[in-house]
C-alpha cells in the first residue's frame, strides 16, 4: 500500500508564472553561465548532442572579440605561456632543490596528476631528476571519486603545498581553478605570495580576472578575487603569472570538467613540452613555437569530431545502458585509461550518478597509475580499477544491456586487448572500441579480430607527428573529448539534464551551493533569499527553518546535503508549488526523470 496518490503537480501550480524568462541578470562568471548553443540539448538526438558539443568545444579556439576576454590564442596568453615555459626550463636545467607543483580540485586536480606523472615519465626516460609534483584537494582518493568538501578548505591547500615543497628553494606553483573560485587553491596562491623568495605563483582559470570569486572565505582575510588582484599587480614585474583565457560557457552549465579541463590540458601540455624542448633538445621557447603548438590542438578537435557517426553510436549505446539502469565501462590501456578513470569519476557529482553507472578500469591498475599514495583498493570497490578487478567483479554480471568500451592505441599491447575483448564478448555483444593510430602504422593482425568482436569501432587515424610525445598528448585530449561526449550525452538521454542545467547537482561545497541557489532563482523566478530558504528546507528536510539551521554556516549545510538526494529538485518543487516538503518528495518519487518532472511543473 502506497498511501493516497498525490494530485498531479500541474494542478498545484499557481495559475501563471514566467520563471523561465527572467534570469540572465543573476551574476556569475562565464564558467558558470548557460551556453546559448546548448539551451535545448536536453531534447536533442544523440547525433545532435555530439554536433552541439563539437560547436561548444570549437568556442575554445574562437578569436578574441571583447577586450577583457582573452582567448586561447590571444597575444597576451601566448606571451605568458612563453614566460612560464621559460621558468620551467630553468628548473629543468637546474633541478636541485626545485619543484614544479600542479594543483587543483576535482578534475583540475586530476589533470594536474595526469600531467605531472606524464612529464615525470619523460624525465625518467631521459635519466633526469623528476621535478613535477601534483596536489589534489582531498588527496588521492579524489582522483577516482568526488570529494568536494576539501575544495572549500584553504588551510589544507596550504598545508599540502608546504608538505610537498619541504626543503625546496625554488618552486613554480601552478594553481588550477577553472572558475577562479576554489578556496583550496586561493589559500595556496596566498601562501606563495607571502613567500616570494621560494614560490612563483601561476594561476590558471577561464574567467576574466574581475570575475574571480569574491565571496569571503571563513577564517581568511583574502578571497580568490583579492589574490588574483595582487597577482595581476605582480605580473607586471613577472613574479606572478595569470593564464586566464575564456573558452565560453560549458555545454552543461558549470561543468568545468569539459572545456575547462580540455583547455587546462592544452595550455599545460604546451607550456611543459616547450620547456622540455628548450631544456633538452636545444629548441628555445618562441612565440611562434607556442602558437603553432596551440593551433595543432585545434586540429586535434577537428580530427576527433570528424568521427561524429562513431561517437553518436557510442552515445546511443551508453544512453540505452544508463536508461535501463545498466552500466557503462571503459577498459583502457596506458594514459588513455586515466582519462577513462577521470571521466567516470565526474559522473557522480555532475549527474548524481552511482559509481557503478559509468566506471573506468586501467590495465595494470595502480602499478601503472603512479599516484602519490599507491594502491587505494582498501578504500572500497569504487577504488578497484585494474582489468583484473573488472574481470572479477563486473564481468560475471554483464549482459547485452551493458556497454563496454575498449580504449587503446597502436602503442599498446594489442594481443592483450584482443584477449580481453574475447572474454567480454562471451558475456555481451555490446562491445565497442576506440583505437588511435597514425597513418604510418601498419595494422596489427589482432586489430582485425578486435574490430570483428566489436559492434562499433572508432578508428582514429592521426598524421605521423614530429614527436611521439606530442602524438600521445593529442590522443589523450581526443579521448577526453570522446569520453566527455559519451558520458554527458548518455546522461542527457537518460533525462538527467533540464535544458542545459544539471538540476540534480549535489550541494556539497560553497561553489555548488551558490550554483544551486542561482539555478533555483532562474527556474522559479523567486528572489535569492526565498530560493536559499527553499534550498535549506530541502537540505534539512524541514518545512520551517529553525534558528539552529539559519545560524549554521555553509560547511554545516554542505555536510548535511552530502547525506541527501534530490535536494535541488525538491527545493524547486517547493518553490513552484508552495507545497509541503513531504508532498514534494512523493511527487518526485512518482516522476524520477527530473527533466520530465520539471517540464511538467513549468508547462
- Shortest Cβ distance from residue 342 to ligand F6P (Å)? 9
Nearer to ligand F6P, 244 or 430 (CB): 244
Nearer to ligand F6P, 107 or 469 (CB): 107
Q: How far apart are the first and last CA of the chain?
A: 31
Residue whose grid cell is 583502457: 332
The answer to whether 489 contacts ligand F6P (rule: CB under 6 A) is no
- Shortest Cβ distance from residue 569 to ligand F6P (Å)? 19
70-76 contacts at long range (C-beta below 8 A, 24 or more positions apart): 70/208, 70/244, 70/245, 70/246, 71/245, 71/246, 71/247, 72/245, 72/247, 72/263, 72/266, 72/267, 72/294, 73/291, 73/294, 73/295, 74/245
Binding ligand F6P by CB under 6 A: which of 150, 179, 245, 340? 179
- Shortest Cβ distance from residue 142 to ligand F6P (Å)? 10
Nearer to ligand F6P, 118 or 255 (CB): 255
Nearer to ligand F6P, 91 or 512 (CB): 512
- Shortest Cβ distance from residue 287 to ligand F6P (Å)? 28
How far, in Å, CA of 15 to CA of 596, rounded? 20
The answer to whether 532 contacts ligand F6P (rule: CB under 6 A) is no
Pick out residues in 89-118 that bind ligand F6P (CB under 6 A): 104-108
Provide the grid cell at 470.
606530442
Nearer to ligand F6P, 179 or 248 (CB): 179
Stretch that binds ligand F6P, among 175-183, 268-276, 399-407, 419-427 (CB under 6 A): 175-183
How is residue 34 annotated by DSSP?
Answer: P
Binding ligand F6P by CB under 6 A: which of 181, 403, 456, 521? 181
Q: Are strands 501-502 and 497-498 parallel, antiparallel or unpaired?
A: antiparallel
The answer to whether 307 contacts ligand F6P (rule: CB under 6 A) is no
Nearer to ligand F6P, 83 or 348 (CB): 348
How far, in Å, CA of 41 to CA of 493, rounded? 10
The answer to whether 331 contacts ligand F6P (rule: CB under 6 A) is no
Nearer to ligand F6P, 181 or 363 (CB): 181
Farthest-apart Cα atoms in the chain, separation: 77
The 3-state DSSP class for residue 206 equals coil
Residue whose grid cell is 613577472: 238
Q: Which residues pair with 134 in a beta bridge?
A: 102
Burial of 559 (C-beta count, 10 Å sphere; 0-12/13-18/19+) = middle
Nearer to ligand F6P, 439 or 553 (CB): 553
Pick out residues in 498-517 that bind ligand F6P (CB under 6 A): 509, 511-512
How far, in Å, CA of 537 to CA of 545, rounded? 6
Nearer to ligand F6P, 472 or 505 (CB): 505
The answer to whether 349 contacts ligand F6P (rule: CB under 6 A) is yes
Nearer to ligand F6P, 509 or 524 (CB): 509
Nearer to ligand F6P, 173 or 390 (CB): 173
The answer to whether 345 contacts ligand F6P (rule: CB under 6 A) is no
The answer to whether 32 contacts ligand F6P (rule: CB under 6 A) is no
The answer to whether 496 contacts ligand F6P (rule: CB under 6 A) is no
Nearer to ligand F6P, 60 or 414 (CB): 60
Q: Which residues pair with 432 in a beta bridge?
A: 405, 456
Burial of 551 (C-beta count, 10 Å sphere; 0-12/13-18/19+) = exposed
Stretch that binds ligand F6P, among 11-19, 66-74, 170-178, 361-369 (CB under 6 A): 170-178
Residue nearest to ligand F6P (CB): 106
User: How many residues line the site for ligand F6P (CB under 6 A)?
Assistant: 21
Q: Give, for 359, the enclosing helix (H) or strand (E).
A: strand 358-362
- Shortest Cβ distance from residue 599 to ligand F6P (Å)? 25
- Shortest Cβ distance from residue 153 to ligand F6P (Å)? 12
- Shortest Cβ distance from residue 302 to ligand F6P (Å)? 26
Residues 6+ apart with CB under 8 A from 225: 180, 210, 212, 213, 214
Instruction: Go through 510-538 and write b for each residue having 16 or more CB atoms within 10 A of its CB, e for each that does not.
Output: bbbbbbbbbbbbbbbbbeeeebbbbbbbb
How is residue 151 annotated by DSSP?
Answer: G
Binding ligand F6P by CB under 6 A: which of 256, 479, 488, 577? 256
- Shortest Cβ distance from residue 542 to ligand F6P (Å)? 26
Nearer to ligand F6P, 176 or 490 (CB): 176
The phi and psi torsions of 402 (rounded to 5 degrees) equal: -85, 140
Binding ligand F6P by CB under 6 A: which of 71, 213, 257, 587? 257
The answer to whether 519 contacts ligand F6P (rule: CB under 6 A) is no
- Shortest Cβ distance from residue 491 to ligand F6P (Å)? 14
The answer to whether 154 contacts ligand F6P (rule: CB under 6 A) is no
The answer to whether 29 contacts ligand F6P (rule: CB under 6 A) is no
Stretch that binds ligand F6P, among 73-81, 174-182, 479-487, 586-594 (CB under 6 A): 174-182
Decide if 411 contacts 334 (C-beta within 8 A).
yes
**DSSP string for 505-559:** ----SHHHHHHHHHHHHHHH---HHHHHHHHHHHHHT-SS--HHHHTS-HHHHHH
- Shortest Cβ distance from residue 340 to ligand F6P (Å)? 16
- Shortest Cβ distance from residue 336 to ligand F6P (Å)? 19
Q: Which residues pair with 171 in a beta bridge?
A: 99, 199
The answer to whether 151 contacts ligand F6P (rule: CB under 6 A) is yes
How far, in Å, CA of 488 to CA of 504, rounded? 14
Radius of gyration of the chain from its Cα atoms, rounded to whole angstroms = 24
Residue whose grid cell is 580530427: 303
Chain residues that interact with ligand F6P, rule: CB under 6 A: 104-108, 148, 151, 176-179, 181-182, 256-257, 260, 346, 349, 509, 511-512
Amino acid at each position: 500500500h502506497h498511501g493516497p496518490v498525490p494530485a498531479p503537480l500541474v494542478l498545484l501550480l499557481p495559475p501563471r508564472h514566467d520563471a523561465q524568462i527572467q534570469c540572465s541578470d543573476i551574476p556569475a562568471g562565464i564558467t558558470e553561465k548557460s551556453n546559448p548553443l546548448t539551451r535545448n540539448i536536453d531534447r536533442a538526438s544523440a547525433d545532435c548532442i555530439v554536433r552541439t558539443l563539437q560547436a561548444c568545444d570549437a568556442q575554445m579556439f574562437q578569436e578574441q572579440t571583447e577586450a577583457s576576454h582573452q582567448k586561447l590564442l590571444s597575444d597576451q596568453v601566448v606571451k605568458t605561456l612563453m614566460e612560464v615555459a621559460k621558468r620551467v626550463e630553468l628548473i629543468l636545467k637546474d633541478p636541485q632543490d626545485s619543484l614544479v607543483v600542479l594543483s587543483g580540485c576535482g578534475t583540475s586536480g586530476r589533470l594536474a596528476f595526469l600531467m605531472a606523472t606524464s612529464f615525470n615519465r619523460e624525465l625518467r626516460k631521459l635519466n633526469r631528476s623528476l621535478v613535477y609534483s601534483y596536489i589534489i584537494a582531498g588527496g588521492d582518493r579524489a582522483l577516482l571519486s568526488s570529494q568536494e568538501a576539501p575544495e572549500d578548505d584553504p588551510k589544507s591547500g596550504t598545508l599540502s603545498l608546504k608538505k610537498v615543497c619541504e626543503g625546496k628553494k625554488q618552486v613554480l606553483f601552478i594553481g588550477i581553478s577553472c572558475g577562479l573560485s576554489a578556496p583550496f587553491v586561493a589559500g595556496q596562491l596566498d601562501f606563495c605570495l607571502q613567500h616570494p623568495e621560494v614560490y612563483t605563483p601561476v594561476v590558471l582559470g577561464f574567467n576574466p580576472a574581475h570575475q574571480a570569486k569574491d565571496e569571503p572565505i571563513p577564517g581568511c582575510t583574502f578571497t580568490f578575487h583579492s589574490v588574483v588582484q595582487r597577482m595581476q599587480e605582480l605580473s607586471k614585474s613577472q613574479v606572478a603569472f595569470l593564464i586566464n583565457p575564456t573558452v565560453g560557457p560549458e555545454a552543461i552549465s558549470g561543468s568545468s570538467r569539459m572545456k575547462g579541463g580540455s583547455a587546462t590540458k592544452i595550455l599545460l601540455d604546451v607550456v611543459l613540452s616547450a620547456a622540455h624542448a628548450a631544456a633538452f633538445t636545444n629548441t628555445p621557447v618562441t612565440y611562434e613555437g607556442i602558437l603553432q603548438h596551440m593551433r595543432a590542438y585545434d586540429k586535434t578537435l577537428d580530427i576527433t569530431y570528424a568521427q561524429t557517426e562513431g561517437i553518436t553510436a557510442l552515445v546511443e549505446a551508453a544512453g540505452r545502458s544508463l536508461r535501463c539502469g545498466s552500466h557503462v565501462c571503459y577498459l583502457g590501456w596506458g594514459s588513455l585509461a586515466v582519462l577513462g578513470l577521470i571521466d567516470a569519476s565526474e559522473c557522480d557529482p555532475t549527474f548524481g550518478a552511482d559509481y557503478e553507472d559509468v566506471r573506468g578500469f586501467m590495465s595494470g591498475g595502480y602499478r601503472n597509475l603512479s599516484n602519490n599514495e599507491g594502491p587505494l583498493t582498501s578504500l572500497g570497490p569504487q577504488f578497484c580499477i585494474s582489468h583484473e578487478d573488472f574481470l572479477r567483479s563486473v564481468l560475471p554480471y554483464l549482459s547485452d544491456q551493458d556497454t563496454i568500451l575498449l580504449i587503446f592505441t597502436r602503442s599498446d599491447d594489442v594481443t592483450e586487448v584482443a584477449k580481453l575483448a574475447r572474454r567480454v564478448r562471451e558475456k555481451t555483444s555490446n562491445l565497442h572500441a576506440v583505437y588511435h593510430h597514425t597513418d604510418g602504422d601498419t595494422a596489427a593482425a589482432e586489430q582485425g579480430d578486435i574490430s570483428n568482436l566489436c559492434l562499433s569501432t572508432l578508428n582514429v587515424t592521426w598524421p605521423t607527428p614530429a614527436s611521439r610525445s606530442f602524438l600521445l598528448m593529442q590522443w589523450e585530449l581526443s579521448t577526453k573529448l570522446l569520453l566527455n561526449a559519451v558520458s554527458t550525452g548518455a546522461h542527457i538521454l537518460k533525462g538527467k539534464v533540464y535544458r542545459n542545467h544539471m538540476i540534480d547537482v549535489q550541494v556539497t561545497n560553497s561553489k555548488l551551493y551558490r550554483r544551486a541557489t542561482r539555478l533555483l532563482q532562474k527556474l522559479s523566478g523567486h528572489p535569492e533569499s526565498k530560493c536559499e530558504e527553499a534550498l535549506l528546507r530541502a537540505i534539512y528536510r524541514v518545512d520551517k527553518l529553525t534558528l539552529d539551521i539559519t545560524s549554521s554556516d555553509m560547511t554545516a549545510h554542505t555536510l548535511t546535503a552530502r547525506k541527501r538526494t534530490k535536494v535541488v529538485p525538491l527545493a524547486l518543487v517547493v518553490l513552484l508549488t508552495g507545497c509541503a516538503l513531504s508532498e514534494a518528495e512523493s511527487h518526485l518519487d512518482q516522476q524520477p526523470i527530473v527533466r520530465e518532472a520539471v517540464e511538467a511543473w513549468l508547462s
